[in-house]
Each structure stands twice: as C-alpha cells, then as structure tokens.
Amino acid sequence: MFDVYLEEKAFEKASAHFKDHASRRLEALGFLVGGVYSFEGRQYVMVEDYVTAENDATAVTVRFSREAFKDLSKTLSDGVVIVGWCHSHPGYGCFLSSTDVRTQKVFFPEDFHIAVVCDPLKGEWKAFKLSKAEPEGNEENYREVSFAVVREK
Ligand SMILES: [Zn+2]
C-alpha cells in the first residue's frame, strides 16, 4: 500500500503544465485535489485532479498568489478537498527547499497534506510530508512518502 495515489489524469495534467513552464525555464505549481481515506487503520490520499491557479513564477521560485486561493475556492465543487500541492524543480531534482517547507507549514498544516515535487527535465517525481518527529525550527523536517500513479477504474 502507498501513502499517496495519483490518478493518471491528474499526473498527466501536472506533467504537461510543468513541461510547458520548463520550456520557458520556469517553475510551475498547482493544487492537488481529491480525498483522504483510510484502509485497515492506515491513512492514504487519493489525488483526483491537479488544479492550476495563477502562477507567480521565476526560474527558481514559484509561490501562490493570494488571488490564487480565492480563484480556486470558486472552481472546487463541494466535497472536494485540497490534499496538497505539486510544483516543479526544472533540472535540479526533487526535494523541499526551506521555502517549500515554510509553504507547507503555512498552507498545508494537516496530517494528510502532501507536497509533490517534479523535475520535468529528469522525469523525477517525489511526494513529501512534514515530519513531526524533528525538533521545532528545523527547516529540513520533511520526509518522503510513497506514491503511485493509478489509472481510473
Ligand atoms: Zn520547491
């Protein structure tokens, strides 16, 4: 069993967005929406869609604009949960920078919230969660979680 399941449709959408931005040497980001479930006492996240909002991107940084959150809440239907976010590191690998960790702490503080990072140039994908075990103030306190891309039934 994996911690995160990414539906192929969401994966393809994010991939296309990241590749498009990478061709212009830009990072890109979007929200991951879906649901949180549990199986035999273990929680997992199902990502059903990737939703992009207005991006404020440069080659090495990308952040959410305040407007993006407002726009997004309008496009989400009832019962759909933002389970995390997904962004690209074109050419420099998958990890969470200290800025990414801060973003996670501020916008995605729930246990189930995930951060997916993709390097569209290397074709690398990784999913992360904040790690509660690390001492407070440590900016590197995140851990990799397992994820799988799944086809819709
Ligand atoms: Zn980053």
How far does the centroid of ligand 1 lie from the alpha carbon of residue 40, in Å? 33
Helix (H) or strand (E) holding 132: none
The pLDDT assigned to 109 comes to: 84
- Least confident range from 9-13, 33-37, 43-47, 63-67: namely 63-67
What are 112-133's pLDDT values in tens digits? 999 999 999 999 999 999 987 6
CATH number at residue 40: 3.40.140.10
118 - beta bridge partners? 88, 125
How far does the centroid of ligand 1 lie from the alpha carbon of residue 125, in Å? 12
Q: How many CB atoms lie within 10 A of CB 38?
A: 9
Helix (H) or strand (E) holding 147: strand 147-150
How far does the centroid of ligand 1 lie from the alpha carbon of residue 70, in Å? 22
Of residues 80 and 107, more confidently modeled: 107
Range of the domain at 28: 4-150
How far does the centroid of ligand 1 lie from the alpha carbon of residue 10, in Å? 19
Distance CA 7, CA 151 (A): 6
Q: How many domains does the chain have?
A: 1
